[in-house]
Amino acid sequence: MSKSVLGLYNDPNQAADAMDALKNAGFAQGTFDVLTGTPYPEGAFGEHVPQHRLFRFPAFGAIIGFTLALFLTAATQIAYPLVTGGKPILSLFAMLVILYEMSMLSAVISTVVGIVIESRLPNVNQGVYDNRITEGLIGVVITTDDDKADTAIDALNGAGAMEIKQA
């Protein structure tokens, strides 16, 4: 049975100490996390700086969008070769506009999908949480086995937690 413990801190420095305490207590990097109501400079809590692969998404999306647009514009013009104004049937520069827009659209959509996926959202089971985190408190949350929970609570309290929540 695993258990989540959340320690709440008033002072960011205490939260950073709590992170250290957890590390020193032998918990693995990925098991604990810090929750804040505002972004902090990376590594401010000594946390593991998250890796992401967001940059792949727009590139992938742009290629998909470009291909789709190329198919749509080229195929329809070839399928219905109606001449207008003496312009060539495959008017590259007219198609360019649509190729461009659809590539960009697809890139944006896939980036948004990428942000959601890479943020590990949607996060259906929110887990242990406190409303006051969006009011300025810093939360340090750890998920661990039942038997180690007390060690974690001790570590969190040792750093000066104003409140401990469990779930």
Partner 1 sequence: MTLQREKRQYSWGMVVDVDKCTGCQACVLACQAENNVPLNLQDRFERARAMSWIRVERYWEGEFPDIKARFIPIMCQHCENAPCEPVCPVFATYHNNEGLNVQVYNRCVGTRYCANGCPYIVRFFNYWEPVWPEAFRNHLNPDVTVRSRGIMEKCSFCIQRIRRGVRNAERENRNVVDGEIQTACTQACPTDALVFGNFNDEDSKVSKMRKDDRHYTLLPHLATDPNVVYLAKIDPDRSAGASHG
Partner 2 sequence: MASEAVHSGAHSGVHAEAHEEAHHELPARVEPDVTTSELIATTEANATGVRNWMWILGALTLVGIVVAFVKVLIEWSDQDEWGYTAAMVAFLFSAFGGAPLVAIAGTLAKGNWVRPIARFAALCSLVSIICTIWMIPLILNLPMLVVDGARRRSIWFEGPDVSPHIWALVAMITLIISALGLIYAYAIPDFAAMRDHSTGWKQRFGAWLARGWIGTTVQWRTMRMRIGMMGTLYFFTFVFVHFIISTDFAMSLVPGWRDAIFPMYHAISSIQAGLAVTVIGLWAARKYLGLEKYLHLDQFWSIGRLMFAFTLLWGYFFISAFIVFWYGRSGSDQMWIDYLILGPYFWVFILAMLFIWFTPWWWLIWNRVRRSYNGTAIGAGLILLGVFLDRVRLYVAAWTVPEDRIHERFLTEYPSTVYPDVMDIFIMVGALAGSILLILAATRVLPILSIWDVQQFNLLYRPVEYMKTKVSLIGKPD
Partner 3 sequence: MQQRRTIDQIHTNRVLLNGQLDTPKWWAPTVIVLGIIVAIGFFLIGIMVNKGLGVTGLSRPVYWGLFITTFVFWVGISHAGIMISAILRLSQAEWRRPVTRAAELLTVFSLLTALLFPLMHAGRPWRIIYFILPYDFARGIMPNVRSPLIWDPVAISTYLTGSTLFLYIALLPDLGNLRDRTTGWQNALYTILALGWRGNPRQWKLQTVGGILLSALMLPIFVSVHSIVSWDFAVTPAVEGWHSTIFAPYFVIGAVHSGVSAVVTMMALMRWLWKWEDFIRPEHFDALARLLIVVATGWLAFTFLELLFAVYGLDAPELELRDMQIFQWPWNLLFVTFLFTGYIIPVGMWLQKSVRNNIALMFWSSLFVNIGMWLERFMIIVPGLARKTPFVYTWEAYRPSGLEWFILFWSLAWVTFLMLLFSRFFPLVPLFEQKESQTFGDSIKIGRVRVPAIVREAD
What does the alpha-carbon distance between residue 87 and residue 163 come to, in Å, rounded to a whole number? 73
Q: Which of partner 2, partner 3, partner 1, none does residue 116 bind to, with CB < 5 to 8 Å depending on kind?
A: partner 3
Q: Which of partner 2, partner 3, partner 1, none does residue 33 bind to, with CB < 5 to 8 Å depending on kind?
A: partner 3
For partner 3, the binding residue among 26, 86, 120, 147 (CB under 8 A) is: 120
CB of 19 to partner 2, least distance (A): 8
For partner 1, the binding residue among 26, 39, 86, 122 (CB under 8 A) is: 86
Q: Which of partner 1, partner 3, partner 2, none does residue 70 bind to, with CB < 5 to 8 Å depending on kind?
A: none
CA distances from residue 162 to 9, 108, 139, 141 in whole angstroms, order as listed = 6, 42, 10, 14
Rounding to the nearest 10 degrees, give the CA dihedral for residues 16, 21, 23, 24: 140
What is the SS3 assignment for 167? coil
